[in-house]
Amino acid sequence: MYVVVQVRGVVNTRKEIKDTLKMLRLHHINHCVLIPDTPAYMGMIRKVKDYVAYGEADPEILATILETRGRLTADEKLTNEYVKENSQYSDIKEFAKAICLGEAEISDVPGLKPVLRLHPPRKGYKSIKRTFQQGGALGNYGSEINNLLYRMR
């Protein structure tokens, strides 16, 4: 399961990149989606790699993000009680663990919005024009995406 965060805006970009970001449900900067590890999605991520940061999240960080930024319809917060009543999981941490293992999807909790609107990272991005390997904020973070998500909680 990959976590994809849009880092750059789409002004003056090619139409195919804008369309791919729309298909990934990334419409604004600092929005985050959870994507399964399939070849089709990996091709989409490779196409927009210069506009997003992505990597594999840990269940603990994902549970923190869902608790703080998970929203239901009518912009209500996601709570442990709601998850327990409306799904087979007992709390948010168990749900996050199942998502990371690929056993569950966001749609398993009815009413949970698939896009997480994150806060801009504390201390900011390093550079939104360079890749993570070059000291910037774009591209594949691997497991280091957890540090970025923690700063954006």
Q: Which residue has the tokens 């957890």?
A: 146
- Domains belonging to the chain, first-starting first, are 2-57+116-151 (3.30.1390.20), 59-108 (1.10.15.30)
- 112 DSSP β-pair partners: 72
Q: Quick one: pLDDT band at residue 64, thresholds 50, 70, 90? A: very high
**Considering the entire predicted model, what is its pTM?**
0.92
Instruction: Quote the pLDDT of residue 13.
Output: 95
Query: What does the pLDDT look like over 15-58, one tens digit per residue?
Result: 999 999 999 999 999 999 999 999 999 999 999 999 999 999 99
| 7-13 CB contacts, 8 Å cutoff, 24+ apart | 7/51, 7/52, 7/53, 7/125, 7/128, 7/137, 7/138, 8/50, 8/51, 8/52, 8/128, 8/138, 10/51, 13/51
Instruction: Quote the pLDDT of residue 8.
Output: 94
Instruction: Quote the pLDDT of residue 59.
Output: 94
Instruction: Quote the pLDDT of residue 34.
Output: 94
Mean pLDDT of 96-100: 94
Instruction: Quote the pLDDT of residue 95.
Output: 95
123: alpha, beta or left? (left if phi > 0; alpha if psi -120 to 50): left
The contacts of residue 94 (CB under 8 Å, 6+ apart) are none
